[in-house]
Amino acid sequence: MKYLSGYFTSAFLKRRIKRIESIIRNPIEIQYKLIHQLIAYAKNTEFGKKYGFFDIKKYQQFSERIPICKYPDLQPIIERIRKGEKNLLWPGKVKWFARSSGTTSTKSKYIPVTKLSMHECHYKAGKDMLSIYIHNHPKTKIFFGKALRLGGSHELYRNYNTFYGDLSSILIKNLPFWAEYISIPRKKIALMSEWEEKLETLVKETEKKDVRLLLGVCSWLLIFLNHLLKKFEKKKYNDIWPHIEVIFHGGVSFNPYREQYNDLFSPSVNYYDVYSASEGFFAVQDQKNVEDLLLLLDHGIFYEFIPMEEIHNPYPKIIPIEKVELKKNYALVVSTNAGLWRYIVGDTIKFTSLSPYRISISGRTNHYINTFGEELIIENAEKALNVTCIKTDSIIHEYTAGPIYMNQKNSGAHEWIIEFKKPPKDLCYFRDTLDKELKSLNSDYEIKRYKNMILRPPVIFVARNGLFYDWLKKHRKLGGQNKIPRLSNDRKYIDSLLNMK
């Protein structure tokens, strides 16, 4: 193990840190070099021939020829790829597809994961994540113990010999030997499909192991961690894993879970955020105790951005990275080494720094409440909830929110279903504080709240313990990268949860 520790430390620090520093110095040059490489790779594909990749020499040609797209636009061609057709969006045959939650017209999305994207995007970003951590913590001893990962599962697609599943399961299935050597649980357990059975097996598998690093979606990690504490009858994880050092988390915002993690771990444990999605590994936290994420620019992903005020325009303005502005909301558009071309991911981001390019995730293009013109995004909601919890000495476990529609008697409202780990003593004060914080963060919300004419105060429904878990179980969304929908512009999720109250 000491040999592995020395190998990783020297390899990551000497090679990758220097490369990361080089990218920070030359971001624009690297991005344009990358898009020309992607075009050259795909020029003989069906897509490349259709859009004339052979003679694209400049970014302007690329942006003029290739339309932006969402998943439903690509679904027919992706289905052909899933059935084994070659050379459609990317050269050769694609064997793996990351399944994620669907759109309004599809139950699930199947995002291609090529060998190149697996190694030059996801695994490469994982190495950078570790090298940055080692650089920030030169006395680390994470490689002297085990890394605990939570994964999903995958399935064979009928008789076409292609596979689909959670991105985590695909990456675990294809991990290089050195990563598998330091990881627990074993692949067989990590890839189990039945979440509750996996949970019990994970507890047995991690007993008496020297765990020093955790990786996973923070909401699912928390379920596992609480289950493990109960089994061991301990109050903090440092009593079970005395050398636990860092938790790498992503998939959902960490803020709603921060207090719960602080209750479970000692202050010496570090938290590092990553921005990884089925479409690619986009960004990593590169600074201690700073939530902003460093955008990864040489991992096979070419970035473009749509200002959010343009998102519903049939022909929106799309800009490359050198034209972005600070503190402005953008929809993320990517072209990748998995064969996605000018694909709207669905996330919204803000740039917090332009040298280097650092971002924060502000929400989703389709996860917001704008029923009354209030344009409430996840960033607003989570900042307001965080302050409200501090002021009311409460802790939220899960939440979601949606609209209450206007009628002839009443103005509209936002209904919040909140499952508390520590409920507030005065729910009315909690509601009023949340309302006040939302007004301070969002001027559109504040205007709509004027004299209750359009929006009346929020309606808070306190969920029973386990409601959100039961909802996920009912909809077969336990484990993996499934997430609670935070904000919705309709009552689909709200009513579904209330029917289980």
State whether 355 and 388 are in the same domain.
no
- Per-residue pLDDT band at 65 (split at 50, 70, 90): very high
pLDDT at 16 over 90: no
State whether 350 and 494 are in the same domain.
no
Q: Which of 20-24, 258-262, 317-321 has the lowest mean pLDDT?
A: 258-262
Average pLDDT value over all residues in the chain = 87
314 to each of 60, 74, 199, 317, 412, how far by Cα in Å?
19, 18, 46, 10, 29
pLDDT in tens, 119-174: 999 999 998 999 899 999 988 888 888 888 877 666 767 667 888 888 888 888 88
Number of domains in the chain: 2
State whether 338 and 394 are in the same domain.
no
State whether 250 and 305 are in the same domain.
yes
State whether 53 and 129 are in the same domain.
yes
Q: Of 2-16, 55-69, 395-409, where does the model show the most confidence?
A: 55-69
State whether 394 and 488 are in the same domain.
yes
Nearest residue to 92 via CA among 343, 341, 338: 338
12 to each of 16, 296, 492, how far by Cα in Å?
5, 16, 46
Residue written as tokens 């002021």? 391
pLDDT in tens, 135-147: 999 888 888 888 8
266 by DSSP, 3-state: which? coil
| 18 vs 207, higher pLDDT | 18
| Domain boundary, last residue among 359, 379, 409 | 359
State whether 393 and 292 are in the same domain.
no
State whether 438 and 314 are in the same domain.
no
State whether 12 and 55 are in the same domain.
yes
pLDDT in tens, 435-461: 999 999 887 788 888 888 788 999 999
Residue written as tokens 């003679």? 55
State whether 178 and 257 are in the same domain.
yes
Nearest residue to 117 via CA among 280, 302, 335: 280
Give the residue numbers spanning the domain of 459.
Answer: 368-498
State whether 491 and 378 are in the same domain.
yes
- Per-residue pLDDT band at 182 (split at 50, 70, 90): confident
As given in the structure block, the two tokens for residue 501 are 């109250």
Query: What is the distance between the alpha carbons of residues 155 and 166, in angstroms, rounded to a whole number?
Result: 10
333 by DSSP, 3-state: which? strand
- Per-residue pLDDT band at 258 (split at 50, 70, 90): confident
CATH number at residue 344: 3.40.50.12780
| 340 vs 379, higher pLDDT | 340
pLDDT in tens, 236-246: 777 888 899 99
Q: Are 411 and 390 in contact (CB under 8 A)?
A: no
pTM: 0.79
| Domain boundary, last residue among 340, 359, 378 | 359
- Per-residue pLDDT band at 104 (split at 50, 70, 90): very low
The pLDDT value given to residue 103? 45
| 218 vs 434, higher pLDDT | 434
